[in-house]
Amino acid sequence: MNKPTTNKTKAHVTTIIEGLTKLAQACQRRNVSVTSITLKRGSEIYEHSIAVAEPSANLCEIQGRCERAIVTVICNSPVPVDINADLKSLATWAASASIDWMVPAPPPTLVKEQAPL
């Protein structure tokens, strides 16, 4: 007997950068301007900077927690209550998912430049 197939796509995030970028994009789809997102996982802290906040900006902080992971989203302006609840849920999801996210490998080091052939 054949199993029915579905066309649902699973979000597959493998690195911290990819995960935090997806969270920033989710905020932007809700018309929320994000300055930065910070992931604290155990003793490790990673910051994903997105925009520079205006000095006079009234920043809003949204946090999500799961086990030893905390995701903090800094927004450039106050966020409406209904969207705030949605973003808090997304930040909590990101904190939960971040437990499996990998630290990206550093780019290779340039040892020597070679003249074109």
Taking the C-alpha atoms of residue 16 and residue 48, their distance in angstroms, rounded to an integer, is: 9
Q: What type of residue sits at position 31?
A: N
Please, are residues 75 and 60 in contact by the beta-carbon 8 Å criterion? yes
Please report whether residue 70 resides in a domain.
Answer: yes
Please report whether residue 19 resides in a domain.
Answer: no
Please report whether residue 68 resides in a domain.
Answer: yes
**What pLDDT score does 24 carry?**
94
**What pLDDT score does 8 carry?**
45
Burial (CB count <10 Å: 0-12, 13-18, 19+), residue 62: buried
* pLDDT tens, the chain, 117 aa long: 555 544 444 556 579 999 999 999 999 999 998 999 999 998 889 999 888 877 767 789 999 999 999 999 999 888 898 899 999 999 999 999 999 998 877 766 666 666 666
**What pLDDT score does 6 carry?**
47
Please report whether residue 41 resides in a domain.
Answer: yes
Taking the C-alpha atoms of residue 112 and residue 13, their distance in angstroms, rounded to an integer, is: 34
Coil vs helix vs strand at 115: coil
Please report whether residue 49 resides in a domain.
Answer: yes
**What pLDDT score does 105 carry?**
75
**For the chain, how many structural domains are there in total?**
1
From 104, 107, 88, 74, select the one nearest 14 (Cα to Cα).
Answer: 104
Please report whether residue 116 resides in a domain.
Answer: no
Please report whether residue 14 resides in a domain.
Answer: no
**What pLDDT score does 19 carry?**
93
Residue 69 tokens, joined: 């992971």
Taking the C-alpha atoms of residue 115 and residue 17, their distance in angstroms, rounded to an integer, is: 34
Domain that holds residue 47: 34-77+95-102
Please report whether residue 62 resides in a domain.
Answer: yes
CB atoms within 10 A of CB 56: 5
